[in-house]
């Protein structure tokens, strides 16, 4: 009898989570919040699951399916043309990205000292441009407060999306345009359902296989990076990967957002005002740091202030790209640098973080061991 009751309750809880997420996504889209179908479900399910405890459930395999879809879309952007453009300015891109990462590490160090949170949590919360991956990586890493990581990442995203357009269209940059239409999320290029056939079946089988294989060999964020790597490689061999319909991309974000919302535990967030204040402060410092780096960038290449700032701004490639288009900045440079940083964060940062964490753990063991 008890088992029968549980089997009925689980589908109901899953349905409640899905309905809550859809309402949250629709509301966020209505009020033009960035990435509404990720943040909307995440916030709605977070609130719902904390008000109505034990009424929500969301199986991890569904979240993993969403990650595979997102990974595939990332792989689509790694075309031969995009990689060639990045190769031309690779030294500058690498320098600027490393300087930005160094700023993030410094911010994480000061946040950890000021707040008392561990350095791992502060670092994963401070790295820009990878909300989904940083949250998934935080889930896979020991001694991480997932709620703090998510708060830091979401506050940074909101600050960048709002502040960068205001700065770009300010008298400092010499550009004039209405900002309101720009504070919206622009998804990757999409296609109709019919255009998916037949290539999507090949990409689907290989993406899922690489995700499962990566997970089996403990590859970091395997369900995201496995499909991204495999899709990019297949495209380099000449097979075209079809763009996904908007509905499928939104569905993938919902699958991930619900799981993240259920993992967040506000009760575990001590000193809430302090954490939010630090999140806002660090986001402002990161924006100012990006602004400063843009002047170095201008010395290396003959580009405008707006192009330099949009190339280095720690926001999403879609938002920065549409602003660049509106003000006639060098779109290829902006997208190239944003794309490079995205790839760097997705592919290079996880192993680097694991090395840093392992080194830090070994130092702690040596420090605490009896002499």
269-286: pLDDT as tens digits: 677 788 888 888 888 888
Between these two residues, 186 and 291, which has the higher pLDDT value?
Answer: 291
Mean pLDDT of the chain: 79
Between these two residues, 270 and 209, which has the higher pLDDT value?
Answer: 209
Q: Quick one: 366 exposed, middle or buried, by C-beta within 10 A (0-12, 13-18, 19+)? A: exposed
Question: What is d(CA 82, CA 78) in angstroms, rounded to the nearest whole number?
Answer: 6
Q: How far is CA 81 from CA 84, 92, 236, in A?
A: 5, 18, 10
pLDDT of 189 above 90: no
The pLDDT of residue 196 is 81
Residues 6+ apart with CB under 8 A from 88: none
Residues 6+ apart with CB under 8 A from 160: 128, 283, 286, 287, 313, 314, 315
pLDDT tens per residue across span 239-260 = 888 888 889 989 998 998 898 8
Residue 370 corresponds to which tokens in the numbers above? 């009896």
User: Cα 178–182–188 angle (5° rounding)?
Assistant: 155
What is the three-class DSSP state of 105? helix
Between these two residues, 52 and 180, which has the higher pLDDT value?
Answer: 52
Q: How far is CA 331 from CA 48, 53, 130, 308, 310, in A?
A: 41, 47, 21, 11, 9
The pLDDT of residue 3 is 46
Question: What is d(CA 319, CA 39) in angstroms, rounded to the nearest whole number?
Answer: 16
Residue 238 corresponds to which tokens in the numbers above? 């000449």
- Tell me the Ramachandran region of residue 245: left when phi exceeds 0, alpha when psi lies from -120 to 50, beta otherwise: beta
pLDDT of 175 above 60: no
Question: What is d(CA 265, CA 20) in angstroms, rounded to the nearest whole number?
Answer: 17
The pLDDT of residue 163 is 78
The mean per-residue pLDDT over the stretch 326-349 comes to 75
Question: What is d(CA 50, CA 41) in angstroms, rounded to the nearest whole number?
Answer: 14
User: Cα 35–207–141 angle (5° rounding)?
Assistant: 65
The pLDDT of residue 240 is 86
pLDDT tens per residue across span 120-139 = 888 888 887 666 667 777 77
Length of the chain: 371
């Amino acid at each position: 009898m008890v088992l029968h009751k549980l089997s009925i309750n689980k589908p109901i809880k899953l349905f409640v989570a899905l309905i809550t997420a859809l309402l949250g996504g629709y509301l966020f889209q209505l009020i033009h919040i960035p990435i509404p179908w990720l943040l909307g479900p995440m916030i709605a399910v977070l609130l719902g699951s904390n008000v109505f405890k034990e009424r929500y459930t969301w199986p991890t395999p569904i979240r993993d399916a969403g990650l595979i879809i997102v990974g595939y879309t990332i792989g689509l952007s790694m075309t031969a043309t995009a990689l060639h453009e990045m190769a031309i300015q690779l030294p500058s891109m690498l320098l600027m990205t490393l300087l930005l990462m160094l700023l993030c590490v410094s911010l994480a160090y000061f946040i950890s000292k000021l707040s008392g949170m561990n350095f791992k949590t502060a670092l994963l919360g401070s790295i820009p441009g990878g909300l989904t991956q940083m949250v998934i990586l935080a889930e896979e890493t020991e001694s991480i407060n997932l709620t703090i990581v998510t708060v830091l990442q979401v506050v940074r995203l909101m600050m960048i999306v709002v502040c960068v357009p205001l700065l770009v269209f300010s008298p400092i940059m010499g550009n004039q345009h209405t900002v309101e239409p720009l504070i919206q999320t622009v998804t990757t290029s999409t296609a109709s359902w019919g255009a998916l056939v037949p290539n999507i079946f090949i990409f689907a089988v290989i993406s899922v296989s690489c995700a499962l294989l990566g997970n089996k060999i403990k590859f970091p964020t395997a369900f995201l990076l496995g499909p991204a790597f495999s899709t990019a490689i297949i495209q380099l061999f000449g097979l075209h990967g079809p763009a996904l319909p908007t509905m499928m991309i939104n569905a993938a974000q919902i699958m991930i957002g619900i799981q993240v919302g259920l993992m967040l535990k506000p009760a575990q967030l001590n000193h809430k005002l302090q954490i939010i204040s630090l999140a806002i402060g660090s986001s402002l410092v990161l924006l100012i740091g990006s602004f400063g780096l843009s002047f170095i960038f201008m010395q290396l290449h003959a580009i405008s202030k707006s192009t330099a700032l949009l190339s280095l701004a720690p926001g999403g490639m879609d938002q920065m790209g549409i602003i660049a288009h509106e003000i006639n900045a060098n779109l290829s440079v902006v997208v190239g640098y944003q794309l490079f940083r995205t790839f760097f964060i997705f592919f290079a940062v996880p192993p680097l973080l694991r090395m840093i964490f392992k080194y830090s753990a070994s130092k702690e063991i040596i420090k605490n061991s009896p002499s």
